[in-house]
Structures are given as structure tokens and as C-alpha cells.
Amino acid sequence: MGCFDDGSFNVELENGVSSISCEEEEGNNRAVIEDAVKVLLEGLKEDINREGIRKTPFRVAKALREGTRGYRQKVKDIVQGALFPEAGLDDRIGHAGGAGGLVIVRDLDLYSYCESCLLPFQVKCHVGYVPAGQRVLGLSKLSRVSDVFAKRLQEPQRLADEVCSALHQGIKPAGVAIVLQCTHIPFPDTEPVFLDANHQSWFKILVSSGTGVFENKNADEWADFLSLIKFRGVDVENVHTRESSDPCWCPSQSSLSTKVSSKIGPVNHRMITAVASIIKSLGEDPLRDELVGTPSRFVRWLMNFQTSNFDRKLNGFHCGGIDSLNTNGDVNLNDKKLHSEMNLPFWSQCEHHLLPFHGVVHIGYLISGGFNPIGKSLLQKIVHFYGFKLQVQERLTRQIAETISPLLGGDVIVVVEASHTCMISRGIEKFGSSTATIAVLGRFATDLATRASFLQSIPSPTSSERQ
């Protein structure tokens, strides 16, 4: 329900018409989302009055409304006043300066919420158009129009089509072209995928859309457009057309995800109803065909973080043999040796915004001669034990260190490197950046040389770890 120019809209009542302000509508929608988030937290058996959780309903509601603000924006408000006259030829024989020739803005970083599971996905957007009628658009507006449609519940092909159509209507050019590189986080079973350090299950897709002169995929304009984005790392040979795009690109609808639901158990119907009310409060119809199964899929994801199903098995612990650990070389430090285990993967869920964060854990420790290093499999279990719950990165780092410390005499250092979708989705962090936290105990807290020796051995992240 949209607002009139005076900032209000009318609601029919039995005894007349009542005018309600947009501000009141916004407040009502946030209240509905906050109540729904409380239901989700209770379904996870969390104490909604716990410090760290108490303000989560407010934070989630604020972030979701901000992340879907595109429902409350109009393209014409962005384009009007940003069209400028520029001398050029209308028969598209190009002139330097853009008028009559192709104009491209590349590498726009966007994010959107997946309509199939409500988890954020990343978008690298390349948009171009061929001016006509001596009209050119302020370049920043190409990004703003793209963001209007990204800030809605989306799937890649529709996002490309909607941006393309809106720009064509707003600019009235000879044609508009869009190519999107979309990346979705995995939606796997917790044991075979999350625990596999070598498993990379990021879902990626390239989609395109074109209007006017770009409706023909064999047109010279498309060849120019693709040539100018190819050297930006775009695999133009694998760009999906509208006809070939997989409508079920979201991993929540994969066969592996279907197997997960049986292990998690029956889904709480109160939680499903709560998610449906969130979708409605964002400005969508939860009964739209593409959204009917979304609440149950989001709840299935969330239930992974209800309580950890991993047994720490610390009682009766026996150190594994040295062959069970990749030590990356031993460093003699007086009477002790420095051992390290790098790049232990983890997934967790931010307790402030109910959005995932993920990364790797690096662990170093000192042990005296005659003692074997701790087994890698146990370290991984400890990492996942603390990862699979509502968390904050600082606490996760400390808990891992404090758990390992008594097993190995107290000299422990833990570094956690993570990417937070809650930061990206709120526009605070650029794609590819990460957050690092460190916990030091025993000798690592006082011996700067020992600490530096470990920190310098941390490997540079691979491209897959930067996702």
C-alpha cells in the first residue's frame, strides 16, 4: 500500500475513512517484524531477555526494512531531473563523450535478499545503454536504479529484467543491457558439507537482460558490451539468457537441502507463520507462488543454529599422533614447540541480526617435548561446536581458546577471520572485506616474539575464502 504525495494513505473502515501516516505504517510494520523475531528466537530456545539477544528483534526489523527499501522507492523519482541534453546523432553513429555511443557502468556492488530462502546474495552488476534523443543519464543514477530493485526479495533473472525495463522506460534510449554476477551462500547439511574443509558449495550464476537494440543477442551492441566487461573477470561465454536461466538457482531447493530437513526434524509452524508475517510486512505477498515455500526454507536454515548437535567428547580425551596434524613446520621455542592448525572452516549465525557469518579459524599452541599435538578432527569439532549457535565473533574466538587451553597446558592463540552478511546487507562493509579477532592465553599473552611467529605463519586467503 503506497503513500500519496501528502505522506498519507486512506484505509477504509466500517464507519468511514481514516487517514494514517506513512510513519505510522512504518512503525506498525516494524512492530510486526519484532514480534515475529521473538517467536523465532523462542523457537530456537533462546532467552529473549538475554543481553545480546534482547535488542535483536529491533535490530532485525530495522535491517530488514532497510534491506528491502526498494518496495518503497520509485524509479521516476530518481531519473527525473537527472536526464541531460547532449549533442549526438540519433542514428547511433557514436561520438566521443557518450551521446550516440555505448555507455557502461561496471562492477556495481549490490546485494539482495533471495526470495526462496530470505538469505542475502551478492550481486556484481554491469549496466549499459545506448543514448537516443540526445538524452544521457547521470551515471550515479544507473547504480541507484539498480539498487531499487536489488533492495527487494529477488531472484537473479527477474532482477536483471526489472532493472533493464525500468531504465528503458526512464531514459527512453536505443537500448539497455544488464549482466549480473550473483553469488549465493551454501544451504547444506551441517555434517557432510559444513564440516568438509575442502568443500566449496557457493552457488553462482551469470544472467543478462536486454531491451531495444540489445534484444538481439547477436547484435553488434552486445558484442561491444560483453567485450568491455570480459576483462573485468566476467565469463561471457556462460551468461544465461532469459530462456536458459535455472529458475531454482537457490541452493535451499536443491536435493541436498531436502535431505537436511529430515535431519533437523519437524519445522515449528509458529515459526513459519512468523516468517510469513515478516514477508508481508516488507511489502510482499507471502502467497505469491515463488514465496509460498520461503518461510519453511528460512526456518530450516535457522534451525541449524538451535543447539549444537556436535559432541565435544572432551572427557577421556587422548591426543592423536603427530601424523594426524599438518604442523606446517615446528618452531623450537626454548623447551616448547609451536604447533599450528590453519584454515579450519566454520559457519555461524549473528545473534544481533539473525544473518550468517562464516570464515576460517587459525589455532596455535605450545607443548613440551614428549607430548603429541591435538588431533585436527577434535579441533574442528570444537570450532563447530561453538559455531553452530547464535554467536558473535568475539565470543566465538574466546570460547575456542578457553576450551583448548586446559587440554594443552594453557599456551594457546586463536585467530578467527570472517565475513559477515549482516554488515554487507546493511551497507556497512564492502564485498571481499573481512573481520579478524584474536584470543591469546598463557605465553602468547606475554611473549611478543612467539605471538608474532604464529601470526606471520597465517596463510593469505584464497579467492574462495574471500567469498
What confidence tens digit (pLDDT) does each residue in 277-300 have? Answer: 999 999 999 999 999 999 999 999
How many residues does the structure list for the chain?
467
Position 436 pLDDT exceeds 60:
yes
Cβ(376)–Cβ(321) under 8 Å?
Answer: no
Provide the 10 A C-beta neighbour count for residue 154: 25
- The per-residue pLDDT for 81 is 83
3-state secondary structure string across the chain:
CCCCCCCEEEEEECCEEEEEEHHHHHHHHHHHHHHHHHHHHHHCCCCCCCCCCCCHHHHHHHHHHHHCHHHHCCHHHHHCCCEEECCCCCCCCCCCCCCCCCEEEEEEEEEEEECCCCCEEEEEEEEEEECCCCEEECHHHHHHHHHHHHCCEECHHHHHHHHHHHHHHHHCCCEEEEEEEEEECCCCCHHHHHCCCCCCCCEEEEEEEEEECCCCCCCHHHHHHHHHHHCCCCCHHHCECCCCCCCCCCHHHCHHHHHHHHHHCCCCHHHHHHHHHHHHHCCCCCCCHHHCCHHHHHHHHHHCCCCCCCCCCCCCCCCCCHHHCCCCCCEEECCEEEEEEEEEEEEEEECCCCCEEEEEEEEEEEEECCCCCCCHHHHHHHHHHHHCCEECHHHHHHHHHHHHHHHCCCCEEEEEEEEEHHHHHCCCCCCCCCEEEEEEEHHHHCCHHHHHHHHCCCCCCCCCCCC
- Who wins on pLDDT, 333 or 180? 180
Calculate mean pLDDT across residues 314-318: 46
Crossing angle for the helix pair 156-171 and 139-150, nearest 10 degrees?
A: 140
CB-neighbour burial class of residue 22 (10 A; exposed 0-12, middle 13-18, buried 19+): middle
- The per-residue pLDDT for 82 is 87
Calculate mean pLDDT across residues 160-187: 93
Calculate mean pLDDT across residues 426-435: 66
Position 324 pLDDT exceeds 90:
no
- The per-residue pLDDT for 20 is 56
d(CA 142, CA 149): 12
Show the cell assigned to 92: 547511433
Of 177-186, 256-265, 280-289, minimum mean pLDDT range: 256-265
Position 308 pLDDT exceeds 80:
no
Position 191 pLDDT exceeds 50:
no
φ, ψ for residue 21, nearest 5 deg: -75, 155
- Full-model pTM: 0.82
Position 311 pLDDT exceeds 60:
no
Show the cell assigned to 108: 556495481
Q: For residue range 199-256, list pLDDT tens digits in order.
A: 456 788 999 999 999 999 888 899 999 989 887 777 767 676 555 445 578 888 864 4
Position 361 pLDDT exceeds 90:
yes
Cβ(183)–Cβ(467) under 8 Å?
Answer: yes
% of the chain beyond a pLDDT of 70: 74
Cβ(331)–Cβ(347) under 8 Å?
Answer: no
Calculate mean pLDDT across residues 296-315: 72
Among the listed residues 289, 288, 292, 257, the one whose alpha carbon sits nearest the alpha carbon of residue 272: 292
Of 24-28, 37-41, 274-278, minimum mean pLDDT range: 24-28
Among the listed residues 112, 110, 111, 256, the one whose alpha carbon sits nearest the alpha carbon of residue 186: 256
Position 262 pLDDT exceeds 60:
no
Q: How confident is the model at residue 425 (pLDDT cuts 50, 70, 90)?
A: low
- The per-residue pLDDT for 431 is 62
Q: Mean pLDDT, the chain, as a whole number? A: 81
Calculate mean pLDDT across residues 70-74: 94
- The per-residue pLDDT for 91 is 52
Calculate mean pLDDT across residues 454-461: 91
Of 95-109, 224-238, 334-348, minimum mean pLDDT range: 95-109
Of 52-61, 84-93, 218-227, minimum mean pLDDT range: 84-93
CA-to-CA separations, 329 to 333, 338, 443, 447, 452, in angstroms, rounded: 13, 9, 20, 20, 15
